[in-house]
Structure 1
Amino acid sequence: MKIALIGFGNAGGKIADELFEYQLDSDRELCRAVLAVNTAQTDLAKLDRIPEEDRILIGQTDGRAKGHGVGADPDLGAAVTRQDLHEIENALAEVPIYDVDAFLVVAGLGGGTGSGGAPVLCEKLQDTYEEPVYGLGVLPSSDEGGRATYNAARAFPSFVEATENLIVFDNDAWRGHADSVGGGYDRTNREIAKRIETLLSAGNVGEEISENAMDASDVRRTLGTGGVSSIAYAETGIDRSTYESRGFLNRFRSNGVEEDSDSAKKISGLVRQAVQSRLTLPASVDSAERSLIVVSGPAEEFSRKGLESARRWVEERTDSIEVLAGDSPTPSADVLSVAVIVSNVTEVERIDRLQSQALDAQANVEKQREAREQEIEDLITDDNDEISPV
């Protein structure tokens, strides 16, 4: 699959930047085009990989933003985006849409620009193009405060409705206790890039084509459910020195004879390890409508028997026959990796908790506003209201 990648807001831009860099480092070709959109010039200037001509500053003519951000106000972020949609459309006019299988819009949901603007952009993309529009939304961690939680709870349903499928990454589940703020986000951004790259690069034609190669249409089918999805991932190192020792007679592939049982066990074990460990969004996998397994690495490590065993196990685990599985040959890779996406999950405790916390935050905000108004009134008037204002 080849995508047009759009990072929206501060978090979205950083993740898009990391994903673009990961693509270059892994010699894969996922991003046919990449854009970063923001209301703050300083955030755009901090990006490392996305070319400057592909960084779009919106809100310059809006008196409330003026290129300095929207102050964590998603309503302002949405309004500024609507005003300047033409700026983004002009940039997209340079994108070779004929060579793009899908759009991926990335945004953090705790701020203002991404949480407010990304759904607006996705709606416009859906109206303009035939290609599917996917989202990648990042939930804020608890230590980011009540405002971020409230913004995320408001932005979440809008982002889901505006996209064909929203892949979610939960910072609360991934930030380590020993992480610094910046270091923690840098690490999680790399984890996001690794998973998205492995999953969506499937089907891109490279130096080798496997009999079980995944196709972009398989990815589109799995993500065509709507709703919310989560990605599982696992990897293991490989020893290239063992390739020569295997010999042609010791490793028959896909020809009705016997495959290498060690490779089959490795593939099946990695898939189980992935699904049973941390997902990008903790969820009950048996609530998923569809699933997709992608194995990536040197073709010598692949096993059709292992892939079929893994597919059957995921079918049992998700209680669904809608499970696709394939591989993505990457000759230069030094690890064997698997990505499993569970699509349209409906049992997600984190979302329930987010909404509950947001309701509490909203009630506190309203209560504090009422108290504040009374305190201000008490401050500016005398006790008996005997002084007449000028």
Structure 2
Amino acid sequence: MANDAVAGNALRVAPVRPVDADDPVREVLAAFTRDLVRAVEETLGDFLTTEVASLAGVDPALHDFARTAHDCVLAGGKRLRPTFAYWGWRGVVGGEAPLPPVLPALAALEILHAFALVHDDVMDASATRRGRPTVHRSMAAAHRAARRAGDPDRFGEAAAILVGDLCLVWADRLLGRTAVPAATLLDVRRCYDQMRIETIAGEYLDVLGEHDAGNWSVDRALRVARYKTASYTVQRPLLFGSALAGAAVPDAPLVAAYTRYGLAVGEAFQLCDDLLGVYGDPATTGKPAGDDLRTGKPTVLLMLARQLATPAQAAELRRLDGGVPADEVDRYAELVAATGAVDRVEKMISDRVTGAVAALEAASMDETARSALTGLAVAATHRRS
């Protein structure tokens, strides 16, 4: 059940003020999302509790399986996708439209995100997520603790894939509960399906890059960022929100502004992730530092390092094609920074945020939404996790 903040006509957010460069990033983000996140999480909690109970009734062993999927969705996170979708919707409908009818659609994006994370962790062989063991690791540990037959790691990976699959189906089911006209929901589904296709395409290119680094480039790495992250983190959620409002005209000025803003902020978000993946504090990011160096993933950061390197640095960086041992990660992180690649990526992030804000300035939209999206462009790309 939605809380008092969303009962009635409009979500009550903290007072919106012009973005101040001196504002702490987390404060800005919290000011625009606090009540929305609470409403989304209550929607998720009610839905997931019912779904877990339904599966547990089939066989007792399914309770822990379904509960793992439940916990993946609710175990923290920034809730960026529902947030961008909300402001995409709010930018069209203004502040008086009732929120409860569209909450299932906003919450469904968070379940979709859990699907992507679980599968991504299996593909990347990641050990932790949000400071906790990844699903495949925790499932393998449960296998060992129960002294079951077979390979625990193989079981963990298979079970994690199924947890991700379950989240994908749950996302579809919750989306179907959105209380908008059938024609509007069909437009929303088209946007949702395109978002999923682009995400899978980006994930495949991401996997391919690790095995074909010699044929990669900065442009190709940016293409991966665009499809793997920008599309389903910012651009498509914004367009998803505008479709919820019944604004699915492809050439509408506001949709064009959302597209430009979404691509810019989404790419900047992934570029920030590239930096955090090498230089982030594991206590804050919840993941080990240097995973991209360990695997040799050809991110924009690493492609730029190769491009900017001196001949001696380039010779050293060639070792990254196959990844590097964990005890050499710090040395290679210093080498990448020494090429000037980190400074270049930070400039790319800044340029994209500037372009995103400019895209909104010319759009005809709800002023509160414009202010919120301006703040979110900064908050989502200047972060420590």
Same fold (TM over 0.5): no
Measured against the shorter chain, the TM-score band is under 0.3
- TM-score between both structures, scaled by the size of structure 1: 0.26
Which of the pair is proportionally richer in strand?
1
- TM-score between both structures, scaled by the size of structure 2: 0.26
State the structure with more CA Rg.
1
Which of the pair is proportionally richer in helix?
2
